[in-house]
Structure 1
Amino acid sequence: MGLKTTADLLREARDLITPFRGWTQGELARDAHGRPCSPNSPAAVCWCGTGAAMKVDGKAVGESAFHGLCRAAAKHNIIIPRLNDGGVTLDGLPPHEAILRLYDEAIALAEANHDAP
């Protein structure tokens, strides 16, 4: 398979945190014991919104998943470091749902920009 587009990477990151058990707050990633770890660690089992983007980055055409997520967050005046602390508010949604919504918007923006190999 060729290089992944930003939209592909964003979908991959969103899939990591879509099940509630795959999402965390306060750290970029955690292992099965709840200890903080690198988002790229093989021991990581859950990620914050930012950590999920960091995990999948590295093979994007154009911009990275992290930058795509930043662009969507900026539309709502959300500062990216807040994605790892659960402090995200968007349309009154709980933090996990708000982050998933931001991913949806980031994917739509990446697709609208025709980010393709």
Structure 2
Amino acid sequence: MYSLKLDYPLSGLVAHCVALCEVECCGLDAFDFSFVHMASFLMKCSYEGRARRLDVDSIEQQLETLNVNYGRRGASSKGVEIGEMNRRFSGVLLTQWVEDMQNELARAVRFLEQEGLLTD
């Protein structure tokens, strides 16, 4: 199993979503990857109080790359360990997590667009 360190901005999003416990204690259960936390992170990382499409696109690309490389149909579908999350993912579980993240990210983008808080 491959050990992976996430790059920014996905690493920042993951760190921002630690809300329920300590990662070292609870692993994946320590996170709240809801669209509210994602929207908050996206607004915070621009330093302007508005989210940038560039950051959204980067996160989407990072998630897709994770899935292509380590997901259930990935080049290394045996899975991956992500240290920032204290979690080992099988290929199937990684694909499920990526899909959940993509869905919540899409909800965050819709919310930000509706509120006029997403810039190109």
TM-score (norm: length of structure 2): 0.33
Q: Which structure would you say has the larger Rg? A: 2
Q: Which has the higher helix share?
A: 2
TM-score (norm: length of structure 1): 0.34
